[in-house]
Amino acid sequence: MIKLLNKLWEILVFILDFFIRKVFRISLSDAQWEAFLQFIKFGIVGVSNTLIHYFTYLICIFAGCHYLIASVIGFLVSVVNAFYWNNKYVFVKEENATRSLWQAFLKTFLSYAGTGLILENVLLVIWVRFLHVPEAIAPLVTLLITIPINFILNKFWAFKDRKK
């Protein structure tokens, strides 16, 4: 499975490189290219994480849970997924750095709690109760706000390494 994911990533990088540097003729330094690829990886993890959260949410809704309880359950499942993949593939620890996994997990949990639990649920109440957005659509609307905030919190706080 890991080999397949790595091969798919290589193909995606090749395609991105072709379009950005050859088709659009955008010149990026190595550091800019690496930061761009990191954001793309975060986006891929985010999409899978969003799908996990959303489908968990829908399963709970269809099982009869209140939409806020369904959101909390979806959050708990998705934050574990987000931590694993962000730690393993997106914010990889540098060679001369240290990182406490428990501290990184706690920070990940707190950053996602701030955006994915508190902010999302406040927005869910606004969308569903006051603006009458359907319960199945409301979580998708919140992504426009929560995704950029999550990337910044994860990159500069949760997975920030300490130099040895």
Stated pTM of the model: 0.74
Confidence of residue 125 (pLDDT cuts 50, 70, 90): very high
Q: Find the length of the chain.
A: 164
**Cα gap 27→61, rounded to integer Å:** 47
User: Could you count the other beta carbons within 10 Å of the beta carbon of residue 116?
Assistant: 29
Give the residue-averaged pLDDT of 44-71: 91
State residue 164's pLDDT score: 64
Calculate the average pLDDT of the chain. 88
Q: Is the pLDDT of residue 71 over 80?
A: yes
Q: Is the pLDDT of residue 162 over 80?
A: no
Angle at 148 between CA 162 and CA 6, to 5 degrees: 65
State residue 1's pLDDT score: 64
Give the residue-averaged pLDDT of 133-143: 87
